[in-house]
């Protein structure tokens, strides 16, 4: 396989774990493509709320990984296929793809190129743009696994989604409706509530202003079947009192404070399934009709530090880097 492109790339990498000042734009070698891997010419990268945790060394400690510096961040992204390894069957040069490169020793998507396992990529579904596809991968998997694998959501069930205007939440609302659930969505602020109403939720309440528990009891007088918590806190905790006996709660790892155990309720913490991620199942749900991935703001690769600072701001949906 002859490489006709340059051998180096621009990337945002860290040479040590630490604060936002460790993020540096560097010129790095393009990683080598293994037999079962794909070289992606990255056009956009998601900026996740977990990125600062990775930058500070949290994942390396949690998973006992010895880091290889310089370390390129960016767990999800999208672009076009530049080259494929000899065992790769699903993709060819020029395909528009998105995927997950979580804790990949060859680096992540905060770069002009990324090398990713074939099983961690999928074709971009529907009419999604590169920034939309890039920004949704990890959150789409987290939303889908919460609803499908963890809660086992069934057609006709009543579901409360807490944090419905955020990255995971706004995707979960749309997935849950396609799975046949009745969805009560709790969003943040007037803008969040208006946004989520447009996604097809059966009822939307503003968690900042309205009584979530009263709304839930009105929505499901016999008790909610299930709750997906994408964020924690006092209002989230109170909402669990609206569950019926035998009701289920799921929350992804990282939600703080952790919800308290309740008698008669099945409470489950879960991790997204990133190895391999269920992207084909997600694509089928997305392809079932119009689908919205909200990208609140985009930044250039050189603005990666600004993007990570902006994770602390109020915004709807997701943030993304344009890497071209």
Here the CATH number for the domain that contains residue 85 is 3.90.180.10
199 and 143 in one domain?
yes
Q: Counting every residue, how long is the chain?
A: 324
Does residue 285 lie within any of the structural domains?
no
User: Across the strands, what pairs with 266?
Assistant: 248
Residue 13 burial (CB count, 10 A): 22
- Rounded Cα distance between 119 and 100, Å, is 9
Tell me if 170 is assigned to some domain.
yes
Q: Does one domain contain both 58 and 100?
A: yes
Tokens describing residue 230: 């994408």
Note down the domain range covering 304. Answer: 8-124+294-322
- CA-CA distance, 276 to 107, in Å (whole number)? 17
- Residue 131 resides in a domain: no
Residue 118 sits in the same domain as residue 231:
no
Residues 108 and 56 in one domain: yes
Structural domain includes residue 78:
yes
Closest CA to 183 of 120, 141, 142, 228: 228
- Measured CA to CA, the distance from residue 306 to residue 316 in angstroms comes to 17
Would 223 be classed as within a structural domain?
Answer: yes
In the block, tokens 């396992």 appear at 117
What is the residue-level pLDDT of the chain in tens, covering all 324 positions? Answer: 444 557 999 999 999 999 999 999 999 999 999 999 999 999 999 999 999 999 999 999 999 999 999 999 999 999 999 999 999 999 999 999 999 999 999 999 999 999 999 999 999 998 999 999 999 999 999 999 999 999 999 999 999 999 999 999 999 999 999 999 999 999 999 999 999 999 999 999 999 899 999 999 999 999 999 999 999 999 899 999 999 999 999 999 989 999 999 999 999 999 988 889 999 999 999 999 999 999 999 999 999 999 999 999 999 999 999 998
Asked whether 211 and 130 are in contact (CB, 8 A), the reply is no
pLDDT at 4: 53
Q: Are residues 119 and 44 in the same domain?
A: yes
**Residue 258 sits in the same domain as residue 301:** no
Do 26 and 71 have their domain in common? Answer: yes
81 and 151 both lie in a single domain: no
In a domain, 130, yes or no: no
Q: Which two tokens stand for residue 31?
A: 């990683």
Answer yes or no: is 309 within a domain.
yes
Q: What is the pLDDT of residue 324?
A: 81
**Based on the domain organization, do 196 and 303 belong to the same domain?**
no
Residue 280 parent element (H or E): helix 279-286
Same domain, 251 and 302: no
CATH of the domain at 192: 3.40.50.720
Predicted pLDDT at 287:
96
Work out how many domains the chain is built from and give that number: 2
Tokens of 282: 């997600």
Burial label for 297, CB within 10 Å (0-12, 13-18, 19+), is middle
Query: Is 286 part of any domain?
Result: no
Q: Kindly state whether residues 258 and 300 are assigned to the same domain.
A: no
DSSP letter at 13 equals E
The per-residue pLDDT for 5 is 57
Do 112 and 177 have their domain in common? no
Q: How far is CA 258 from CA 3, 28, 121, 143, in A?
A: 49, 40, 31, 18
């Amino acid at each position: 396989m002859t490489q006709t492109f340059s051998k180096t790339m621009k990337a945002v990498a860290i040479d040590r774990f630490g604060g936002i000042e460790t993020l540096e734009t560097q010129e790095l070698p393009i990683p080598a493509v293994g037999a079962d891997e794909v070289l992606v010419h990255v056009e956009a990268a998601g900026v996740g709320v977990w990125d600062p945790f990775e930058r500070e060394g949290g994942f390396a400690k949690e998973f006992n990984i010895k880091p290889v510096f310089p370390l390129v961040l960016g767990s999800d992204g999208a672009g076009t296929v530049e080259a494929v390894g000899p065992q790769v069957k699903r993709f060819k040069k020029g395909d528009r793809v998105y995927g997950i490169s979580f804790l990949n020793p060859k680096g992540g998507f905060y770069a002009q190129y990324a090398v990713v396992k074939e099983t961690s990529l999928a074709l971009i579904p529907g009419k999604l743009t590169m920034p939309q596809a890039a920004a949704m991968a990890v959150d789409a998997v987290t939303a889908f696994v919460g609803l499908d694998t963890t809660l086992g959501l069934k057609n006709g069930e009543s579901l409360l989604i807490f944090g419905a205007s955020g990255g995971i939440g706004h995707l979960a609302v749309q997935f849950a409706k396609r799975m046949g659930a009745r969805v009560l969505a709790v969003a943040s602020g007037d803008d969040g509530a208006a946004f989520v109403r447009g996604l097809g939720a059966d009822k939307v309440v503003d968690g900042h202003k309205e009584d979530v528990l009263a709304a839930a009891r009105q929505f499901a007088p016999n008790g909610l079947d299930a709750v997906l918590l994408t964020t924690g806190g006092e209002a989230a905790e109170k909402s669990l009192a609206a569950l019926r006996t035998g009701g289920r709660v799921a929350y992804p790892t990282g939600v703080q404070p952790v919800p308290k155990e309740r008698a008669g309720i099945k409470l489950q913490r879960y991790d997204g399934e990133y190895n391999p991620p269920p992207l084909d199942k997600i694509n089928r749900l997305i392809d079932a009709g119009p689908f919205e991935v909200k990208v609140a703001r985009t930044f250039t690769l050189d603005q990666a530090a600004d993007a990570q600072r902006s994770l602390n701001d109020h915004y709807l949906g997701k943030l993304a880097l344009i890497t071209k």
